[in-house]
Each structure stands twice: as structure tokens, then as C-alpha cells.
Amino acid sequence: MSKRTRLQCKAPAVKGKNVCRTHGGLSTGPKTKQGRQRCAEAKTIHGKDTRAKRAQNAAASAKLNYLRDLGNLLGMFTGKTGWPGRKPNAYRPPVNPDPLELVRLIEALDTTHKPTEP
């Protein structure tokens, strides 16, 4: 069934199957337990990122959103500072942060990417 037209595909089904070759008739999928496990672990969207990489990106995005909102709360920025799109699921906005918590957050930041001196 097409998502756009809500009509079923008019192409003939592959012999012995219920669907055409375009909509999965040629696919057999993994048959063994190891093959299914390997497919689940390597599952990607558009072949670019693994689940672990997407989780890492979401955590980094949540950290950046938190720091931006913290800067807004402390009055460090002027003008519009928002980013387009939704906030990541792991994001929790800052509410009247404690100074000791700020020090802990700054120390927790990844400092492996320091700028090189000229």
C-alpha cells in the first residue's frame, strides 16, 4: 500500500510471494539467529549512522542545548540564540543552577579538543 495514494501497488507479485519485487518480494532477510542479531546490531538509517552513534550525537546535542540555555539564563547572550528544530529527548532545561553545579558541569565537558596555539 502506498503511503501517498493509499492504493495498493499494481505490479504483479513475485512467484510464490504476496508482494512485488519492488516492495519486498525479492528480499529473503536473514535466516539464521546470528544473521538476525548482526542485522539488529548494524541497523542504520540511510546507511550513515549506527544506533550507538545516534545516541552519542543526541547526548552531545542535549549538552549543547543545555549550555546555550544556561548562557541565556545567566545573561551571557543578547538577541535570538535559539536553534531550529526540536530539542533532543535527553535534554533537561536548567532551572536556577547552583554555582557548584556550574563548576562541575564545566569540568565534565570534554577537553580533548583544545584549540592549537599559533
| pLDDT for position 34 | 92
In the chain, the number of structural domains is 1
Amino acid, res. 44: T
Tell me if 36 is assigned to some domain.
no
Which of 54, 50, 63 lies closest to 90 in space, CA to CA? Answer: 63
Domain for residue 12, yes or no? no
Domain annotation covers residue 33: no
| Residue 109 confidence (pLDDT) | 65
Please tell me the pTM assigned to this model.
0.45
In a domain, 23, yes or no: no
pLDDT along the chain (118 residues), means of 10: 77 84 78 85 68 82 82 76 73 74 70 55
Q: Does residue 85 fall inside a structural domain?
A: yes
Domain that holds residue 57: 51-108
What is the predicted pLDDT for the residue at 95? Answer: 74
Is 96 within a domain? Answer: yes
Q: Does residue 16 fall inside a structural domain?
A: no
pLDDT of residue 24: 75
Q: CA dist 31 to 4, 22, 34, 50, 75, Å?
A: 32, 20, 9, 22, 58
Sign for the CA dihedral angle at 45, 48, 52, 53 comes to negative
Asked, for residue 65, whether it belongs to a domain, the answer is yes
CA–CA gap between residue 49 and residue 70 (Å, rounded): 29
Phi and psi at residue 49, in whole multiples of 5°? -125, 145
